[in-house]
């Protein structure tokens, strides 16, 4: 099997006013924001020619997206081979929350850590993700 986690792919957190919070981060910290948050662009350390992305997003305080976790945040980790990793995680007794979902920009699945935090795993398709958001990224 390839490496398990190869980087952080996203940071998501709940807040009372997601729009105002995004605007605050844009104004005061210089994040390039849109309706989904901010996409950070960086280079893969092992393949410097490859652009990678981290999605930073605000969610409404009452979002169901992070359930069954009670946490105010969720971290997304980038992985190389999601299907193989899920198989290994199942064998190791890790709670898999849902089935693998496939989109043009990658595959996703959610797991739970031992303290009840929901984790999103993402096998990215960087070429497609790069085209999303009109190329506006935080660098």
Q: How does pLDDT run across 45-72, given as a tens digit for each residue?
A: 888 998 899 999 999 999 999 999 999 9
Q: How far apart, in whole angstroms, are the C-alpha atoms of residue 4 and residue 78? A: 9
**How would you list the strands of the sheet with 51-60, edge to edge?**
33-34, 37-43, 51-60, 5-15, 73-79, 118-124, 106-112, 101-103
Neighbour tally for 66: CB within 10 Å: 19
Residue 16 has pLDDT above 80, yes or no: yes
> What pLDDT was estimated at residue 133?
67
**pLDDT level of residue 135 (50, 70, 90 thresholds):** confident
Q: How far apart, in whole angstroms, are the C-alpha atoms of residue 15 and residue 20? A: 10
Q: How does pLDDT run across 95-119, given as a tens digit for each residue?
A: 999 999 999 999 999 999 999 999 9
> What pLDDT was estimated at residue 118?
98
Question: What is the mean predicted confidence (pLDDT) over 67-89?
Answer: 97
Question: What is the mean predicted confidence (pLDDT) over 89-94?
Answer: 97
- Who contacts 10 (Cβ-Cβ below 8 Å, separation ≥6)? 54, 55, 56, 57, 74, 75, 76, 120, 122
Higher pLDDT, 137 or 26: 26
Rg of the chain over all Cα atoms, to the nearest angstrom: 15
Average pLDDT of the residues of the chain: 93
* pTM for the model: 0.91
> What pLDDT was estimated at residue 136?
81
The bridge status of strand 73-79 relative to strand 101-103 is: unpaired
Nearest by Cα to 56 from 20, 22, 92? 22
In the chain, where are the structural domains located?
5-133
- The domain defined by 5-133 folds into 2,3-Dihydroxybiphenyl 1,2-Dioxygenase; domain 1 (3.10.180)
């Amino acid at each position: 099997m390839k490496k398990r986690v190869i980087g952080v792919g996203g940071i998501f957190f709940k807040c009372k006013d997601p729009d105002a919070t995004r605007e605050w981060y844009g104004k005061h910290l210089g994040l390039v924001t849109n309706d989904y948050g901010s996409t950070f662009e960086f280079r893969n350390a092992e393949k410097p020619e490859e652009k990678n992305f981290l999605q930073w997003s605000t969610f409404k305080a009452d979002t169901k997206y992070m359930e069954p976790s009670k946490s105010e945040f969720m971290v997304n980790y980038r992985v190389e081979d999601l299907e193989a990793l899920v198989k290994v995680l199942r064998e190791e007794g890790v709670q898999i929350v849902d089935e693998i979902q496939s989109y043009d920009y990658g595959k996703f699945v959610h797991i739970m850590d031992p303290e009840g935090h929901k984790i999103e795993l993402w096998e990215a398709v960087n070429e497609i993700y790069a085209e999303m958001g009109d190329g506006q990224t935080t660098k």
